[in-house]
């Protein structure tokens, strides 16, 4: 298994370690529910060093990233970040990702899911014909932490020369964090305010230990992958492999907002235009259970007694204290309030479609 550069620190904090896509990662420390609620009410610190980083440079870098993705990269100024995807010609997903504009038009930093690093790098390096670009996989060099929660700025500001109060959501800046040269962005995967800190310093430990030292008296907890999943699901953030895949289109996944047709040509555009004209057959919908039980990935989903799909993501929401999830439903069954059924072991449990996200920053319990 790979280990991040913070591995020893997790073990010292008593983390329960598991294997995740070839990495030894903390699944929980104090407990998923405590960790989840800490992020929603105070702050939490995540080691996300397993994520992948791909640098695209050259005179055609902007044009190339613009071709590979559905969102409009050209509107990004240096300092801005954008959520987007790598699309197949059929408008299904290779991965979802963040694009950081480092220099326009010649330097873009792509951050991709840990599970897909090799696949994504091969994809990004494999479509360059006709573009003068250089593609580098920098994943091994980077360590990354995420500090998320209402107290994130208060905890991080004393540790960095980056002006956090002046940093808007989905912007980034370079500076030092705990003395370590870093890139800091106001981004995250929890639905809360927060920051992600990237560094190529081979000894990034001070970033973790300083944030823990500064934050613990304010109620900060270290957070494992277990709570990372419950947090992102409440905020209806996608998980590749569960909610989006090479079998789901960008429109079916309810991600039309990342498609900017007016920006020009891109991989998958003709199919998206065709789907817009024809209409959708199915769409990703959020649901909550009405009967007792928890819906989990792959449980069968039934509409009017007929199996239509399987649960994509599902868990017990620690904040809402109810069982929630996502599934692809026939388009006529996706209106909020629509009731359907999920097979949980040998019983059928009633569920209903609800608007998403399940949780928005600032919601009170």
Partner 1 sequence: MYPSELHYTKDHEWIKVEGDEALIGITDFAQHQLGDIIFVEVPEVGKDLATHQSIGVVESVKSVSDIYSPVAGKVVAVNDALAQTADLLNKDPHGQGWIVRLKIKDRKELEGLMKASDYEKFLEGLES
Nearest to 195 by CA among 147, 145, 143: 147
**Between 293 and 330, whose beta carbon lies closer to partner 1?**
293
Q: How far is the CB of 29 from partner 1 (least distance, A)?
A: 11
The DSSP 8-state label assigned to residue 78 in this structure reads T
Q: How far is the CB of 18 from partner 1 (least distance, A)?
A: 10
53 with 111: CB under 8 angstroms? yes
How many residues touch partner 1 under the rule CB under 8 A: the total is 17
Asked if residue 296 binds partner 1 (CB under 8 A), the reply is yes
Q: How far is the CB of 286 from partner 1 (least distance, A)?
A: 18
Distance CA 293, CA 325 (A): 12
Asked if residue 107 binds partner 1 (CB under 8 A), the reply is no
Asked if residue 320 binds partner 1 (CB under 8 A), the reply is no
Asked if residue 365 binds partner 1 (CB under 8 A), the reply is no
Asked if residue 345 binds partner 1 (CB under 8 A), the reply is yes
**Between 232 and 269, whose beta carbon lies closer to partner 1?**
232
Site string for partner 1, 180-219 (x = CB under 8 A): ----------------------------------------
Asked if residue 318 binds partner 1 (CB under 8 A), the reply is yes
Collapsed DSSP state (helix, strand, coil) of residue 206: helix
Burial class (CB in 10 A: 0-12, 13-18, 19+), 254: buried
Asked if residue 32 binds partner 1 (CB under 8 A), the reply is yes
Q: How far is the CB of 324 from partner 1 (least distance, A)?
A: 12
Range list of β-strands (E), 127-245: 134-137, 143-148, 172-177, 180-185, 194-199, 220-222
Q: Which of 144, 148, 160, 230 binds partner 1 (CB under 8 A)?
A: 230
Nearest to 202 by CA among 141, 113, 276: 141
Asked if residue 27 binds partner 1 (CB under 8 A), the reply is yes
Burial class (CB in 10 A: 0-12, 13-18, 19+), 73: buried
| Count of alpha carbons within 13 angstroms of residue 337, beta-carbon side | 1
- Kindly report whether the peptide bond that precedes residue 235 is cis, defined as omega within 30 degrees of 0: no
**Between 23 and 266, whose beta carbon lies closer to partner 1?**
23
Binding segment toward partner 1, per CB under 8 A, in 27-35, 152-160, 187-195, 210-218: 27-35
Asked if residue 104 binds partner 1 (CB under 8 A), the reply is no
Distance CA 198, CA 180 (A): 10
Asked if residue 117 binds partner 1 (CB under 8 A), the reply is no
- Report the interface residues with partner 1, using CB under 8 A: 27-28, 31-34, 226, 229-230, 292-294, 296, 315-316, 318, 345
């Amino acid at each position: 298994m790979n280990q991040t550069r913070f591995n020893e620190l997790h073990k010292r904090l008593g983390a329960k370690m598991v294997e995740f896509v070839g990495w030894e990662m903390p699944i929980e420390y104090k407990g998923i529910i405590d960790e989840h609620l800490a992020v929603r009410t105070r702050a939490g610190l995540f080691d996300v060093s397993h994520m992948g980083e791909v640098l695209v440079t050259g005179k055609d870098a902007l044009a190339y990233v613009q071709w590979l993705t559905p969102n409009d990269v050209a509107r990004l100024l240096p300092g801005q970040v954008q959520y987007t995807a790598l699309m197949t010609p059929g408008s299904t997903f290779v991965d979802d990702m963040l694009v950081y504009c480092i220099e326009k038009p010649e330097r873009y930093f792509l951050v991709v899911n840990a599970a897909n690093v090799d696949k994504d790098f091969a994809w990004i390096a494999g479509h360059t014909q006709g573009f003068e670009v250089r593609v580098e996989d920098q994943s091994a060099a980077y360590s990354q932490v995420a500090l998320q929660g209402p107290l994130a700025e208060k905890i991080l500001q004393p540790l960095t020369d980056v002006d956090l109060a002046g940093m808007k959501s989905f912007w980034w800046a370079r500076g030092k964090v705990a003395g370590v040269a870093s890139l800091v962005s106001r981004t995250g995967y929890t639905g809360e305010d927060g920051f992600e800190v990237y560094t190529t310093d081979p000894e990034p430990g001070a970033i973790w230990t300083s944030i823990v030292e500064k934050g613990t008296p304010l109620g900060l907890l270290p957070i494992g992958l277990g709570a990372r999943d419950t947090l992102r699901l409440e905020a209806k953030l996608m998980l590749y492999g569960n909610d989006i895949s090479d079998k789901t289109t960008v429109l079916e996944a309810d991600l039309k907002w990342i498609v900017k047709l007016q920006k020009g040509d891109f991989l998958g555009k003709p199919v998206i235009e065709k789907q817009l004209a024809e209409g959708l057959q199915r769409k990703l919908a959020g649901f909550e259970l009405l009967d007792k039980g928890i819906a989990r990935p792959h449980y069968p989903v039934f509409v009017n007694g007929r199996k239509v799909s399987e649960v994509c993501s599902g868990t017990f929401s620690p904040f809402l204290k109810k069982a929630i999830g996502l599934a692809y439903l026939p388009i006529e069954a996706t209106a909020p309030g629509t009731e359907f059924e999920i097979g949980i072991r040998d019983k059928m449990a009633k569920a209903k479609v609800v608007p998403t996200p399940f949780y928005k920053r600032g919601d009170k319990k």
